Amino acid sequence: MEYLVIGLIVVLLIVFISCLRIVPQAHVYVVERLGTFHKELQAGPRWLLPFVDRVARRVSIKERVVDFKPQQVITKDNVTMQIDTVVFFKVTDAKKYTYGVENPMMAIENFTATTLRNIIGELELDSTLTSRDVINTKITAILDEETDRWGIKVIRVELKNILPPREIQDSMEKQMKAERERREKILQAEGEKKAQVLVAEAEKESKILRAQADKEAEILRATAEKEAMILRAEAIREQKIRVADGEAQAIAAVQTALAESLERLNTANPNQSVLQLKALEAFGKAADGKATKLIIPSEIQGLAGLAAGLKAVTETTEEEAK
User: What tens digit of pLDDT does each residue of 238-271 get?
Assistant: 888 888 888 888 888 877 877 777 677 667 665 5
User: Among 37, 60, 83, which residue terminates a domain?
Assistant: 60
Q: Is residue 237 part of a domain?
A: yes
Contact 66, 87 (CB under 8 A): yes
In a domain, 177, yes or no: no
pLDDT for the residue 285: 55
Do both 208 and 239 map to the same domain? yes
Q: Structural domain tally of the chain?
A: 4
Same domain (yes/no): 79, 49: no
Shared domain check, 159 and 121: yes
Tell me what pLDDT residue 30 has: 92
The 10 Å Cβ neighbour count of residue 122 is 11
Q: Is residue 173, in this structure, part of any structural domain at all?
A: no
Q: Are 22 and 10 in the same domain?
A: yes
Both 54 and 14 in a single domain?
A: yes
Check whether residue 259 and residue 194 sit in a common domain: yes
pLDDT of residue 313: 43
Q: What is the 3-state secondary structure (H, E, C) of the chain?
A: CHHHHHHHHHHHHHHHHHHEEEECCCEEEEEEECCEEEEEECCEEEECCCCCEEEEEEEECCCEEEECCCEEEECCCCCEEEEEEEEEEEECCHHHHHHCCCCHHHHHHHHHHHHHHHHHCCCCHHHHHHCHHHHHHHHHHHHHHHHHHHCEEEEEEEEEEEECCHHHHHHHHHHHHHHHHHHHHHHHHHHHHHHHHHHHHHHHHHHHHHHHHHHHHHHHHHHHHHHHHHHHHHHHHHHHHHHHHHHHHHHHHHHHHHHHHHHHHHHHCCCHHHHHHHHHHHHHHHHCCCCCCCCCCHHHHCHHHHHHHHHHHHHHHHHHHC
- Which residue numbers in the chain have pLDDT < 50? 294, 300, 303, 306-308, 310-314, 317
Task: Identify the domain boundary among 130, 164, 198.
Answer: 164
| Per-residue pLDDT at 296 | 52
- My answer on whether 206 and 223 are in the same domain is yes
| Residues 117, 54 within the same domain | no
In a domain, 321, yes or no: no
The last residue of a domain, from among 94, 129, 164: 164
Whether 124 is in a domain gets the answer yes
CB atoms within 10 A of CB 154: 22
Residue 316 resides in a domain: no
| Within a domain: 242 | yes
Domain identity same for 192 and 131? no
Whether 172 is in a domain gets the answer no
pLDDT (0 to 100) of residue 283: 53
pLDDT at residue 64, as a whole number:
92
CATH code for position 153: 3.30.479.30
pLDDT score at 90? 94
> 163-196: string of b/e by CB count within 10 Å (b at 16+)?
ebeeeeeeeeeeeeeeeeeeeeeeeeeeeeeeee
d(CA 77, CA 130): 15
Statement to judge: residues 156 and 236 lie in one domain: no
- Domain extent, residue 159, equals 64-164
